[in-house]
Amino acid sequence: MAIHLDRMGHAVTLVPRRLEQAVALMRDRENIERLPGRPLSPSIQIGYEAAPALLNADVVFLACPSQGLRKMVSGLSVLLQGRPTPTPLCVTLCKGLEAETFLSPSEVLAQVCPRMRHASLSGPSHADDVAAGLPTALVLAHSTREGEAEAAESLALQVSDTHLRLYLSDDLTGVELGGVLKNIYAIGAGLCDGMGLGDNAKAAYLTRCLREMGRAGVALGGKPETMYGLSGFGDLVATCTGAWSRNRTFGERLADGTDPKKILSSGKSVVEGYLATECFHQLCKKRGVEAPILEGIYAVLFEGASPKDRLAALMSRALKSECLP
């Protein structure tokens, strides 16, 4: 996102969460570990701490794992107390729920910084494609609080160009739910790939996942049409089919029966779908949502179930009309 904004001519300061990351970016002008081959232009400033960047920022993009968001926002809240109003618009890029509270990114922001204006940017957005300037379409969701729709519309105009197109949505809950649920189903897509189930199975899997996403999304407060949009269907397709997808790759490695915790401990990247599966398992049980695919993934991740046994259980469920919820 920093590369895209800089390419559009905006003044950009990139502030890593750790000092050693900032030092490495200053030295290499490239995120060699996470985004190799996409150099940072000289006009992108690298910050060692957030305070100077926040002083005059109009917009703050928060790109961190969802489990680290509360800590980051708590620090920003303290820094913003000394800044003259208005506070900058904060846009979350993370896609996950807080494990302890099951809160979405926007709910964490509202709890920690109730006066801060915020929005969520979601949709199919592989980082390397965005950095390369390949065509990408995303959805910018805002709340219905006074002034936030106008702030989101203004931002969409300033961020959109021939490479990146932003659509607007007032379904903040639904957009964030789609961004989380797709990570769960991407793990199952990886299981399909790892088990060699073929194209027919993968197509059927994605179709039924979309139906299940819609059911869960509406039960948890989202709008049904949002699940069929960029943050739902769009991100589902990208994350379930992309070779770069961490969640899909994680599921692929699970197919041979490897312990999930062993895979997680050996990797450097965050697999958001792992904790999200546990969160949504609890939420669906509490709300009485039927989610057999999600429950199958949960059984593999947390109950030691065999992927083949869970597949057999899904295929042998009672037959019904496709149009039923």
> Cα separation of 3 and 133, whole Å?
9
Task: Confirm whether 182 is a catalytic residue.
Answer: yes
> Cα separation of 157 and 40, whole Å?
23
Shortest CA distance to 47 belongs to which of 77, 90, 13, 18? 13
> Cα separation of 49 and 294, whole Å?
40
Q: Pairing between strand 59-62 and 45-46?
A: unpaired
Cα 105 to Cα 92, 151, 176: the distances in Å are 7, 18, 8
Helix, strand, coil % in the chain, rounded to nearest 5: 55, 10, 35
What are the residues facing 13 on neighbouring strands? Answer: 45
> Cα separation of 59 and 10, whole Å?
11
Catalytic residue among 71, 95, 182, 262: 182
Hey, what long-range contacts does 191-197 have (CB within 8 A, 24 or more apart)?
A: 191/251, 191/252, 191/254, 191/255, 191/297, 191/300, 191/307, 192/251, 193/248, 193/251, 193/252, 193/255, 194/251, 194/252, 194/253, 194/254, 194/255, 194/256, 194/307, 195/255, 195/307, 195/308, 195/311, 197/311
Active site residues: 182
